[in-house]
């Protein structure tokens, strides 16, 4: 069997609303052609994000009923703490309501203006949290990781030369932490190899710089290591995770991904002084240290989700479902980022729609068409989201890549849904010359993609 079938059966269903193309055409027009402004109810297949969109298991739902909502010392916190400690191994475990708060707490504790934080590629919220502290977020991924067609199996790897140059250029006292994002979301959900993790860890030790993971998709990363890296085929996912985390000093985590829950996160770290300071901050902004902005029942479902995500049958299906969608597209010549990453398929919109220049947002044009014709929601990661303006000329400087991300929620859609998505994209590809670009009617000062209004170029 080339692709494994779903290793679960469905106990509860959520009916989807089926809308007509005319309705969708009206809705997207009213939304100013902005996919974030469409009521989610009118979307058939929502591939906007894999974050907080997982389906929980019966075991997790059962855990919700065991929620202990004591303000301090909830039993669910202890279950959560014990589970995180078993997998991640870090000494201090601080719950937060999602990943970006863990980032904010960490950076508030360690960054001063002028510092730099290297990463393979920073995710938006990590970058924003670093920059908010007047520090620089630097990307040091290997060059292969920036080339959509390069088949390197671990395109999330850090380039050790780039990393060492950064440390030497700024001085180790200005690099309070080295981060590594597993899997590398902004680079296409690409994994990092154990070998690379060891080397980053050794370099961090050499300069006595703490080393942290951005661990949102850690289990998916472990599966790729098991699949592709020499010497890991006979290890369990738990053993691989334990080894991986043993090389670091801590991690930030959004449990909305590999925690298999709809809300939650944490910061885990070995340093007691940092932990104490951060816990005091936590109490100020999130809540007491045994709930950190979450209900007891949420902590219980995270504890259960973290155990379930290590199940190899689940991960085999998960990684292969994403791969299945990618390969259906690739077989029809649709340009995608290769190899397919863990949580999403990324379409190269520059190649898909070469007749639409970056100033007219080719990725956005594809996103609008996918919704209008098929009720599918994807997200543009291209010039609408990422372009900067030249301060002198005011002209747009487009990013290197014009991508459309199809992020797949965990345990939510079947492989037949994936076939539907593939056919939709293949149909659009067949008459892609008909697609037109877009121009902006209104844009806010920052993060424009969330609320901008656009119209088709005439
Ligand atoms: N780090 C990475 C690598 C992420 O992908 C995300 C979220 C975060 C941190 C922040 O976590 O949302 O819980 O605060 N990524 C989502 C996405 C939003 O769609 O890729 P959060």
CATH number at residue 402: 3.90.1150.10
CB-ligand 1 contact for 53 (6 Å cutoff): no
Residue 214 scores a pLDDT above 80? yes
Residue 380 scores a pLDDT above 90? yes
d(CA 38, CA 377): 9
Percent of the chain's residues with pLDDT above 90:
93
- Each residue of 412-444: pLDDT tens digit? 999 999 999 999 999 999 999 999 999 999 998
Residues 126 and 157 in one domain: yes
In a domain, 13, yes or no: no
- Each residue of 105-117: pLDDT tens digit? 999 999 999 999 9
Residue 306 scores a pLDDT above 90? yes
Residues 26 and 151 in one domain: no
Confidence label for 194 from pLDDT (cuts 50, 70 and 90)? very high
In a domain, 74, yes or no: yes
Residues 449 and 327 in one domain: yes
- Each residue of 230-254: pLDDT tens digit? 999 999 999 999 999 999 999 999 9
CB-ligand 1 contact for 51 (6 Å cutoff): yes
CA of 180 to the centre of ligand 1 (A): 14
| Average pLDDT of the chain to the nearest whole number | 96
Mean pLDDT of 31-48: 97
Ligand 1 atom closest to the CA of 49, numbered from 1: 19
Confidence label for 387 from pLDDT (cuts 50, 70 and 90)? confident
CA distances (Å), 195 to each of 158, 174, 247, 286, 439, in order?
11, 26, 11, 36, 46
Mean pLDDT of 312-321: 98
Query: What pLDDT score was predicted for residue 82?
Result: 98
Mean pLDDT of 9-30: 97
In a domain, 321, yes or no: yes
Query: What pLDDT score was predicted for residue 121?
Result: 95
CA of 98 to the centre of ligand 1 (A): 9
Residues 132 and 272 in one domain: yes
CA of 123 to the centre of ligand 1 (A): 7
d(CA 127, CA 194): 24
CB-ligand 1 contact for 98 (6 Å cutoff): yes
CA of 99 to the centre of ligand 1 (A): 7
List 138's β-bridge partners, or say none.
Answer: 118
Dihedral, CA of residue 48, residue 353, residue 345 and residue 181, to nearest 10: -80
CB 255 within 8 A of CB 302: yes
Residue 43 scores a pLDDT above 90? yes
Residues 114 and 140 in one domain: yes
Residues 186 and 108 in one domain: yes
Q: In sequence order, what are the residues at sequence separation of 6 or more whose Cβ sits closer than 8 angstroms to the Cβ of residue 117?
A: 107, 111, 130, 135, 136, 137, 138, 175, 176, 177, 178, 179
Strand 211-214 relative to strand 250-254: parallel, antiparallel, unpaired?
parallel
CB 347 within 8 A of CB 366: yes
List 250's β-bridge partners, or say none.
Answer: 212, 269
Of 261, 291, 308, the domain-final residue: 308
Beta strands in 148-224 (DSSP E): 178-181, 211-214
In a domain, 1, yes or no: no
Q: How many domains does the chain have?
A: 2
Confidence label for 363 from pLDDT (cuts 50, 70 and 90)? very high
Confidence label for 102 from pLDDT (cuts 50, 70 and 90)? very high
Half-sphere exposure of 266 (CA within 13 A, CB side): 30
CB-ligand 1 contact for 185 (6 Å cutoff): yes
Residue 26 scores a pLDDT above 90? yes
The answer to which of 48-62, 270-284, 394-408 has the lowest mean pLDDT is 394-408
CB-ligand 1 contact for 125 (6 Å cutoff): yes
CA of 272 to the centre of ligand 1 (A): 26
Residues 95 and 200 in one domain: yes
Query: What pLDDT score was predicted for residue 401?
Result: 86
Half-sphere exposure of 163 (CA within 13 A, CB side): 26
CATH number at residue 254: 3.40.640.10
CA distances (Å), 436 to each of 210, 388, 404, 417, in order?
49, 22, 16, 27
Of 273, 293, 308, the domain-final residue: 308
Mean pLDDT of 363-391: 94
CA of 23 to the centre of ligand 1 (A): 32
Alpha-carbon 217 to chain mean position:
7
Ligand 1 atom closest to the CA of 254, numbered from 1: 13
Residue 302 scores a pLDDT above 80? yes
- Domain with 429 in it: 21-50+312-456
Q: Which protein residue has the closest C-alpha to ligand 1 atom 7?
A: 51
Residues 155 and 204 in one domain: yes
In a domain, 112, yes or no: yes
DSSP character at residue 373: H
- Each residue of 155-174: pLDDT tens digit? 999 999 999 999 999 999 99
- Each residue of 46-77: pLDDT tens digit? 999 999 999 999 999 999 999 999 999 999 99
Confidence label for 447 from pLDDT (cuts 50, 70 and 90)? confident
Residues 376 and 228 in one domain: no
Confidence label for 445 from pLDDT (cuts 50, 70 and 90)? confident
DSSP character at residue 5: P
Residues 304 and 316 in one domain: no
Residue 446 scores a pLDDT above 80? no
Q: Which protein residue has the closest C-alpha to ligand 1 atom 16?
A: 51
Query: What pLDDT score was predicted for residue 458?
Result: 87
Ligand 1 atom closest to the CA of 98, numbered from 1: 13
In a domain, 10, yes or no: no
In a domain, 420, yes or no: yes
Query: What pLDDT score was predicted for residue 400?
Result: 84
Q: What is the pTM of this model?
A: 0.96
In a domain, 271, yes or no: yes
What would the two tokens of residue 14 be? 């959520």
- Is the bond preceding residue 334 a cis peptide, omega within 30 degrees? no
Confidence label for 6 from pLDDT (cuts 50, 70 and 90)? very high
CA of 125 to the centre of ligand 1 (A): 7
Residues 358 and 418 in one domain: yes
CB-ligand 1 contact for 136 (6 Å cutoff): no
* Greatest alpha-carbon span in the chain: 62
Dihedral, CA of residue 172, residue 138, residue 254 and residue 101, to nearest 10: 70
Mean pLDDT of 195-219: 98
Of 257, 276, 308, the domain-final residue: 308
Residues 175 and 36 in one domain: no
Residue 1 scores a pLDDT above 90? no
Q: Which protein residue has the closest C-alpha to ligand 1 atom 2?
A: 123
């Amino acid at each position: 069997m080339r692709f494994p079938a779903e290793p679960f059966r469905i106990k509860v269903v959520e009916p989807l609303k089926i809308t007509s193309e005319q309705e969708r055409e009206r809705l997207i027009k009213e939304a100013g052609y902005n996919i974030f402004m469409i009521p989610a109810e009118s979307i058939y297949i929502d591939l906007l994000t894999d974050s907080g969109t997982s389906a929980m298991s019966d075991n997790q739902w059962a855990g919700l009923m065991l929620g202990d909502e004591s303000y301090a010392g909830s039993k669910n916190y202890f279950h959560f703490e014990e589970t995180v400690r078993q997998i991640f191994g870090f000494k201090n475990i601080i719950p937060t309501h999602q990943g970006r708060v863990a980032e904010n707490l960490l950076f508030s504790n360690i960054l001063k203006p002028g510092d730099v934080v290297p990463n393979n590629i920073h995710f938006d919220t990590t970058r924003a949290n670093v920059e908010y502290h007047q520090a620089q977020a630097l990307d040091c991924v290997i060059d292969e990781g920036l080339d959509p067609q390069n088949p390197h199996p671990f395109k999330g790897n850090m380039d050790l030369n780039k990393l060492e140059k950064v440390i030497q250029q700024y001085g180790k006292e200005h690099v309070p932490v080295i981060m590594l994002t597993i899997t590398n979301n902004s680079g296409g959900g690409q994994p990092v190899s154990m070998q690379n993790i060891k080397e980053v860890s050794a370099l961090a030790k050499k300069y006595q710089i703490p080393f942290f993971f951005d661990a949102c998709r850690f289990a998916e990363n472990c599966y790729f290591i098991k699949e592709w890296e020499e010497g890991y085929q006979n290890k369990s996912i738990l053993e691989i995770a334990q080894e991986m985390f043993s090389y670091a000093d801590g991690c930030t985590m959004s449990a909305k991904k590999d925690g298999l829950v709809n809300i939650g996160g944490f910061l885990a770290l070995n340093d007691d002084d940092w932990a104490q300071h951060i816990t005091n901050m936590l109490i100020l902004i999130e809540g007491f240290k045994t709930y950190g902005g979450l209900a007891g029942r949420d902590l219980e479902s995270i504890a259960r989700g973290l155990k379930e995500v290590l199940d190899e049958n689940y991960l085999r299906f998960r990684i292969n479902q994403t791969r299945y969608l990618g390969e259906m597209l690739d077989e029809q010549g649709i340009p995608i980022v290769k190899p397919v990453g863990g949580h999403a398929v990324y379409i190269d919109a520059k190649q898909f729609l070469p007749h639409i220049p970056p100033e007219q947002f080719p990725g956005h044009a594809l996103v609008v068409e996918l919704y209008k014709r098929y009720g599918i929601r994807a997200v543009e990661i291209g010039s609408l989201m990422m372009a900067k303006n030249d301060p002198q000329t005011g002209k747009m400087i487009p990013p290197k890549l014009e991508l459309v991300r199809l992020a797949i929620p965990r345990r939510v859609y079947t492989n037949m849904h994936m076939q539907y998505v593939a056919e939709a994209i293949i149909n659009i590809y067949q008459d892609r010359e008909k697609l037109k670009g877009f121009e902006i009617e209104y844009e806010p000062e920052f993060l424009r993609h969330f609320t901008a209004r656009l119209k088709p170029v005439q």
